[in-house]
């Protein structure tokens, strides 16, 4: 039974071909296609308003030099948000439960923000490794600690997203299994468990949205330190 709980996190394959690429490309089909008109229907209007709201929130802490990252950060936000929400549907696969994928997103973007800081303002970027007014005997230890905290940032980004989504999916599967098992034995408890499952599903929808926002927001904050 324990093995079946974790089977949902295994990348599905068809004829030996992993379908994770298909699940990553599918959210693009939900976005509005280019058209000669600015606004085609209410759905595209809502999507444009939502993209504008996300871009505005992400660009608030950044100066004009960081606004060139708007397309990358907004696209990443929409990508993660769509994948996380689609992964809550029955019989679907959530690519963001794979640590390898999340690290593949987090590490290059974190490295890009770091290299941007080292290129534009090397003194300020390196100055973050040593707080001002540090006693001389503590300088080597603090440099090592700050360097370690800097290097584990992409790992923290990937693990945070993976752990939150994996825990939510496991809880939903455990409670739904308990609901099905208790239905013929104790229907009253089964109905109570089903109501808990409904509340948990609503919570997981919120978690899926929040985690996508936190992932991109932290990247924008890392960018703010380096521009």
Q: What is the pLDDT of residue 1?
A: 46
**Phi/psi of residue 182, nearest 5 degrees:** -85, -15
Cβ within 8 Å of residue 137, ≥6 positions away: none
pLDDT recorded at residue 34: 60
Is the confidence at residue 62, as pLDDT, over 50? yes
Cα separation, 150 vs 173, in Å, equals: 36
The predicted model gives 177-196 an average pLDDT of 88
Give the pLDDT of residue 161.
93
Would the pTM count as exceeding 0.75?
A: yes
pLDDT at 32: 63
Lowest mean pLDDT among 45-49, 184-188, 197-201: 45-49
175 contacts 193 by C-beta, under 8 angstroms: yes
Neighbours of 116 (CB within 10 A): 19
- The pLDDT assigned to 100 comes to 87
pLDDT, position 214: 93
How does the average pLDDT of the chain come out, rounded? 83
Could you report the per-residue pLDDT of 76-131, keeping only the tens digit for each?
A: 998 899 889 888 888 788 888 888 889 999 999 999 999 988 888 877 777 777 77
Confidence class for position 39, pLDDT limits 50, 70, 90: low
Q: For residue 14, list its beta bridge partners.
A: 17
- Answer whether residue 177 shows pLDDT above 90: no
């Amino acid at each position: 039974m324990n093995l079946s709980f974790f089977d949902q996190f295994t990348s599905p394959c068809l004829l030996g071909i992993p379908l994770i690429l298909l699940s990553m490309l599918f959210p693009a089909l939900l976005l509005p296609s280019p058209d000669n008109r600015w606004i085609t229907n209410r759905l595209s209007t809502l999507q444009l308003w939502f993209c504008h709201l996300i871009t505005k929130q992400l660009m608030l802490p950044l100066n004009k030099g960081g606004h060139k990252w708007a397309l990358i950060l907004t696209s990443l936000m929409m990508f993660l948000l769509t994948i996380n929400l689609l992964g809550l549907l029955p019989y679907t696969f959530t690519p963001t439960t794979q640590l390898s994928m999340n690290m593949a997103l987090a590490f290059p973007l974190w490295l890009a923000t770091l290299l941007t800081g080292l290129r534009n303002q090397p003194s300020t970027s390196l100055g973050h490794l040593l707080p001002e007014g540090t006693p001389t005997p503590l300088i080597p230890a603090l440099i090592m600690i700050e360097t370690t905290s800097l290097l584990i940032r992409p790992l923290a980004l990937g693990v945070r997203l993976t752990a939150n989504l994996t825990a939510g999916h496991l809880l939903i599967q455990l409670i739904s299994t308990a609901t099905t098992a208790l239905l013929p034995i104790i229907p009253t408890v089964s109905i109570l468990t089903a109501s808990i499952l409904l509340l948990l599903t609503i919570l997981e929808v919120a978690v899926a949205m929040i985690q996508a926002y936190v992932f991109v927001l932290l990247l924008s904050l890392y960018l703010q330190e380096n521009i």
